[in-house]
Amino acid sequence: MRGEIAVAQFSIGIIALITTSRGNPVFLCGVYSSVRAAILLCLALLSAAACAAETSRYLATLQERWDASDLVCIGIASAPVRTGFTRTIDGIDRDQLVTEVEFETCLKGKGTAPSAVRVVGYDARASKDVDGGFVYSGPPTGFVRKGRNLLFLRRTKTLHNLEIVVPIYETAIRLADSRPNYAVEASPVSKRFALTQEFEAALVQFDASDVSDIDRIVDLLGIRDGMAELSRFSQHLPLSIQRDIAVALLLHDQLNSEPLAISLLQDTSAPAWKRANAAEALGQHGTERALPHLHQIALQPTTSDDLKSLQVHALSSLHRLESRLGTK
């Protein structure tokens, strides 16, 4: 944004110089080469600004997404659909996606009235280019999911048309189907509380398939306050979610969480990817009591790809822990 403003101011300055010069032919001749060079530079800067508008940068933290947005709102979205329009971003054709959103509340900026808006974003690739599939490696991509979302938005020239703050990479955050009980006031503390409630409700609903809301709580509150909030919140949750939170706490050196992380590693009914998360945390921050459990998982026979992946994680974590403890 600062770059675009600077370019606009510079181009206005060049136009003013040309206008003044046209009133004085002698002056124009004397500075022609300087003016011409300045015009070329201005055009180059404008071209660069235009290119920048056609690129996409992943915003990993909540603060980055907040700062980049005109509006940060919670809303209920319809299922995204393709509009048939394609835009080139980062040198690749992307299909335009659109969803209708009804705002519940806005945490930054004022929502439109009426609250129903049209939100535009872009897919990772154009459908015409993916008939045979494609390989992608990079930050998480995504637009808006059907249902309740935390949306980071930019205004457009049309009041009821908004754009997702980053056109390709994931910025919108899916929320629980039901709104938690909280009131939003203007203060930052009130807004952090509201988001904490939303992320905790989402964690409870989606824990079986996604534990990323744990990291969002830490991102929102900071490590110290985030650890304290997760410890408090965990006390009232089912054991499966307590274990996932214990893994996150252990990754921040909360050693009192190690027994729960070990119990998750040993639980054959738990998803293999969750057990692998536990193995990673134990390898990085575990104590000697984790060694036999990692050893058992690393050497036991495996029958499925998921268990083979878990075995690889356990073996790697075992070696890391042995090296860290000096027992290897």
Helix 25-53 to helix 2-22 angle (10° resolution) is 160
Give the integer Cα–Cα distance in Å for 4 and 48.
10
User: Mean pLDDT throughout 196-213?
Assistant: 97
> 109 — alpha (psi -120 to 50), left (phi > 0) or beta?
left
User: Mean pLDDT throughout 179-195?
Assistant: 95
User: Mean pLDDT throughout 29-34?
Assistant: 37
Residue 20 banded pLDDT, cuts 50, 70, 90? very low
Give the integer Cα–Cα distance in Å for 193 and 202.
14
The tokens for 184 are 């939003």
Q: Which residue has the higher pLDDT, 13 or 307?
A: 307
The tokens for 20 are 């003044």
Contacts with 167 (C-beta within 8 Å, 6 or more apart), sequence order: 56, 87, 89, 94, 121, 122
pLDDT digits (tens, 9 = 90+) for 37-91: 443 444 344 333 333 346 778 999 999 999 999 999 999 999 999 999 999 998 8
Whether this model's pTM surpasses 0.75: yes
pLDDT digits (tens, 9 = 90+) for 144-170: 999 999 999 999 998 889 999 998 999
Q: Which residue has the higher pLDDT, 116 or 284?
A: 284
Question: Angle 122-131-170 (CA atoms, 0-180°, nearest 5)?
Answer: 25
Give the integer Cα–Cα distance in Å for 303 and 307.
7
Domain 62-174 = CATH 2.40.50 = yes
pLDDT digits (tens, 9 = 90+) for 209-224: 999 999 999 999 999 9
Residue 110 banded pLDDT, cuts 50, 70, 90? confident
- Per-residue pLDDT, 37: 44
